[in-house]
Amino acid sequence: MQYAGKFVRAFDGLAAAGVAVVLALGSLPAQAQSYPTKPIRIVVGFAPGGPSDIISRLVGAKMGEILGQQFVIENKSGAGGTIATETVARSDPDGYTILNTPLANAVNETLSTSLKYKIGDGIIAVAPLAQTANVLVVHPSLAVKSVAELIALAKARPGELLYASAGRGSATHLASELFNMMAGTKIGPVHYKGGGDALKDLLSGQVKIMFSSIAPVLSFVRTGSLIGLATTGLERDPALPDLVTLSESSLPGFDVRLWQGFTAPAGVPRPVVEKLAAATAQALNAPDVKESLANQGFSPLSGTPEEFDAFYRNEVAKWRKVIETSGMTSQ
């Protein structure tokens, strides 16, 4: 399943009939109608101030208004999000602890050697939240102006070109290795401790190529300090509407987006899952939430727990192939 299709269509349908969400909340069984009776904890596997934290606080605050209980954010960073995943999986399955679940969780199902809980085995899908594309940027000194030119140069100089990575197993690393697989290139990684360090060396020209989230590089692309070649979603990004996607330019089907969703401990009663999913969708449909997400470079998503579960499992399989083919390790 592709986010740009079924999830986005689901969101559009919800926007056109927002009243249906309110009616759905009222029509759930009594078990769900009495829920919640106390604050709900959202566990985030990364430090405060990052996208997972910001979006959890934004959506959680709106869900608190909808459900009449406070949503409390608890940051449990470390081990690429696995500490937070274990915290939630071991929590009581009563709907009062949920997990902000980003792309990293799907990647960890293959990449991590210590992950104990996976989708359907310790945690279950609740609802998708938001997504953002990456953008492939190069330093002007590389003298390429299109994806086709970059691929041609990489094939002419196999093993010579290098890309900046925000760390092994990061989204930048994954996107770059998927690019190598689909383009038949051998552009090598230079791993940094984070995206900020990688971007610093990219701007100085010490490394020439990078898949970056859009917000940090947008001003540099607009001023020409970096050359934007393509975005990574299946559709053009609103922030860079004139920039082609990799899929439409040279690599059909290339699709890499940073996404987030909510999951919960296995065993949470279905009516409670449905109520959380409905409240999430209603929160994402609020104009102020949509505007705040856009300011962060994200667009809202919606879908049923089953749709999110199917997408999550598809992402696990997709990135397993990339990880195994590239020989990627987390160390």
The CATH number of residue 48's host domain is: 3.40.190.150
Positions of E strands within 214-326: 227-231, 257-265, 299-300
pTM (2 d.p.): 0.83
Q: Please report whether residue 331 resides in a domain.
A: no
Domain that holds residue 225: 133-249
Residues 270 and 303 in one domain: yes
Return the SS3 of 61.
Answer: helix
Q: Residue 240 and residue 216: Cα distance in Å, rounded?
A: 13
Take residue 330 and report the two structure tokens written for it: 């987390």
- Cβ burial, residue 178 (10 Å; 0-12/13-18/19+): buried
In terms of domains, do 142 and 227 share one?
A: yes
pLDDT tens-digit profile of 269-286? 999 999 999 999 999 999
Task: Specify the pLDDT at position 31.
Answer: 59
Q: What is the pLDDT of residue 18?
A: 43
The answer to whether residue 193 sits within a structural domain is yes
- Boundary-marking domain end, from 249, 265, 282: 249
Q: Would 233 be classed as within a structural domain?
A: yes
Is the Cβ–Cβ distance between 233 and 255 less than 8 Å?
yes
Query: According to the model, what pLDDT value does residue 167 have?
Result: 85
Of 207, 224, 249, the last residue of a domain is 249
Residues 37, 280, 19: CA angle, nearest 5 degrees: 95
Statement to judge: residues 109 and 189 lie in one domain: no
- pLDDT in the model for residue 2: 44
Q: What is residue 245's DSSP assignment?
A: B
As to burial, measured by CB atoms within 10 angstroms (0-12 exposed, 13-18 middle, 19+ buried), residue 107 is buried
Domain count, the chain: 2
Tell me how far apart the alpha carbons of residues 248 and 56 are, in angstroms, rounded to a whole number: 32
In a domain, 158, yes or no: yes
- pLDDT of the residue at 19: 44
Instruction: Let me know: does 164 contact 202? Beta carbons within 8 Å.
Output: yes
Same domain? For 106 and 166 the reply is: no
Distance, CA of 309 to chain centre: 14
Rounded CA-CA distance 210/63 in Å is 36
Contact 35, 272 (CB under 8 A): yes
239 and 177 within one domain? yes
- Of 188, 220, 249, the last residue of a domain is 249
- Which stretches of the chain drop beneath a pLDDT of 70? 1-32, 330-331
Question: Which residues, 6 or more positions from 90, have their beta carbon under 8 angstroms from its beta carbon?
Answer: 265
pLDDT at 331: 46
Q: What is the pLDDT of residue 9?
A: 46
Residue 285: strand, helix, or coil: coil
83 and 100 share a domain? yes
Q: Give pLDDT tens digits for 109-130.
A: 998 888 899 999 999 999 999 9
Pair (37, 104) in one structural domain? yes
- The answer to whether residues 122 and 223 belong to one domain is no
